[in-house]
Amino acid sequence: MSEGMEDRAVLNVGIDLGTSRSAISADNGRKKWVESYVGWPKDFIARKVVGKPVLFGEEALENRLSLNIYRPLERGVIKDGSARSEEAVKELIRHLIELVRTDESPGEVRAVVGVPAESFKINKLAIRKAVADYAGALMVVSEPFAVAYGVNALNNAMVIDIGAGTVDFCIMHGTVPSEDDQRTLLTGGDYIDQQLQSHLHERYPNADFTLNMVRRFKEQHSFVGAPDRAVEVEIPVAGRPTMHDVTEEMRRACESILPGLVETALELIANFDPEYQKKVRNNIILAGGGSQIRGLRERFEMSLREYGPCRVNCIEDPLFGGADGALALAVDMPDAYWEQS
């Protein structure tokens, strides 16, 4: 903890503002996460039904028919010119901070917010504005960088954050990564959902399912490589619950992100100083929800091994990896920097 922090009675928080899920870690030991959905009642009747002026996460999804619902960072950036999406980011931040505050928490909040790399490039000012109302001092960083800081992968390492909207690559070489050290692909979790939905439509044209159902199937059964067991899910057909074997479709959808992962990782490594490429190859870290796909780490490592020895690891806690890293930044940041931020 930086000098004088306790005297100043500050609550440090690290926020991972994600496309699909947002998480917060605070230095009072509290950690919370929420699905990145924000919903406002459509009219005064809906307002009476849901009983709240704004709903978040799972609760918003459950009441979605009564709400105007927003997933503000879809595809990794604040959606096109939508004031409502900016407002949704603001509400989400407020909600997250409230989740970790206790009655004993100090009034002043210092926040480091990790955002998808694309959003960091495009929306960082908007995100700063959104957070400003709820934090006395704040800094915005790119998500993979926050992860890297949190796991102390500061030098000769590559972090690949497989999120819902984007896959963010970041090479660390002892300083804040520049744009040349980062890449973003749009083939994240949402892309897998679309692939899976399309494969399922093709194989089971009569089955009746939504993208939300597909997302749930993926979260429960995603895998690459050889399946441990058949994947069967319940999908209604003409109103009747029916079991469907989706093993092959699940494998194809999940494996669809592999070529991009391998190609981009190799490209970034190839651009790195040749003397240090070996170190980077042996220090690749997978983060984000996508890193939990069964068998992904092994298949990715196997593919990279065709180009030389390498080691790929997953961070221990993909859900809070970004928020914990952002919190570490907030805590380590000298007071002098905060005062001028």
Partner 1 sequence: MPSQRMRNAELRDNILKAVYEDNLQITGQGRGKRRAPQAAGRSRRWTALMFLVPMFLFLPAMLNPSPSPVDEPRHVNQRARGSAVHGAIPPPPERQAAAPAPAETASVFSEEVFQDASYATDNEDLPPPDCMNYSFLLAGGDAVRLTSLFGLDVKTIVIDPGHGGIDAGAVGGSGVKEKNVTLDVALRLKSRLKKRGKYNVLLTREKDNFVSLAKRVEFANSVNTDLFVSIHVNSLPNRDVNVIETYYFGPPQNDETLRLAQRENKDSNYSIGELKAIIQDISDTVKRQESVRLARAIQDRLLSNVRNYDADVLDTGVKVAPFVVLLGVEAPSVLAEISCITNEEEEGKLASEEYREKIASFLEEGIVRYLTKKSIQHVRGDDDHERRHGG
Give the Cα separation of 159 and 55 in Å (integer).
33
Q: Decide: is 5 part of the binding site for partner 1 (CB under 8 A).
A: no
CB nearer partner 1, residue 64 or residue 279: 279
Contact between 272 and partner 1 by CB under 8 A: the answer reads yes
Size of the site for partner 1 (CB under 8 A): 42
Q: b/e for 23-38, b at 16 or more Cβ within 10 A?
A: bbbbbeeebbbbbbbb
Q: How far is the CB of 338 from partner 1 (least distance, A)?
A: 9
Residue among 333, 336, 4 nearest 139 (CA) = 333
Long-range pairs for 201-206: beta carbons < 8 A, 24 or more residues apart? 203/246, 203/249, 204/235, 204/237, 204/244, 206/237, 206/238
Report if residue 266 touches partner 1, rule: CB under 8 A.
no
- By CB under 8 A, tell whether 53 contacts partner 1: no
Dihedral, CA of residue 119, residue 124, residue 130 and residue 135, to nearest 10: 120
Whose structure tokens read 């959003």?
119
Q: Does 155 bind partner 1 (CB under 8 A)?
A: yes
For position 246 contacting partner 1 by CB under 8 A, the verdict is no
Question: Which of 20, 22, 105, 123 touches partner 1 by CB under 8 A?
Answer: 123
22-30, 201-209, 228-236, 271-279 -> range binding partner 1 (CB under 8 A): 271-279
The answer to the question of residue 4 lying near partner 1 (CB under 8 A) is: no
How many Cβ atoms from other residues are within 10 Å of residue 186's Cβ? 13
Query: What distances in angstroms separate CA 174 from CA 146, 157, 171, 270, one per listed residue?
Result: 13, 9, 10, 18
* Footprint on residues 172-211 left by partner 1 (CB under 8 A): 173-176, 178-180, 183-184, 186
Binding partner 1 by CB under 8 A: which of 125, 226, 238, 243?
Answer: 125
- Residue 7 within binding range of partner 1, rule CB under 8 A: no
Is 258 a binding residue for partner 1 by CB under 8 A? The answer is no
CA atoms of 144 and 166, how far apart (whole Å): 11
Report the alpha-carbon distance of residue 319 to residue 33 in Å, rounded. Answer: 8
Among 5, 46, 54, 122, binds partner 1 (CB under 8 A): 122
Q: Shortest approach of partner 1 to residue 88 CB, angstroms?
A: 13
> Which residues lie closer than 8 Å to 317 by C-beta, 6 or more apart?
324
Contacting residues toward partner 1, per CB under 8 A: 75, 77-82, 118, 121-125, 128, 139-141, 149, 152, 154-155, 173-176, 178-180, 183-184, 186, 272-273, 275-276, 329, 332-334, 337, 340-341
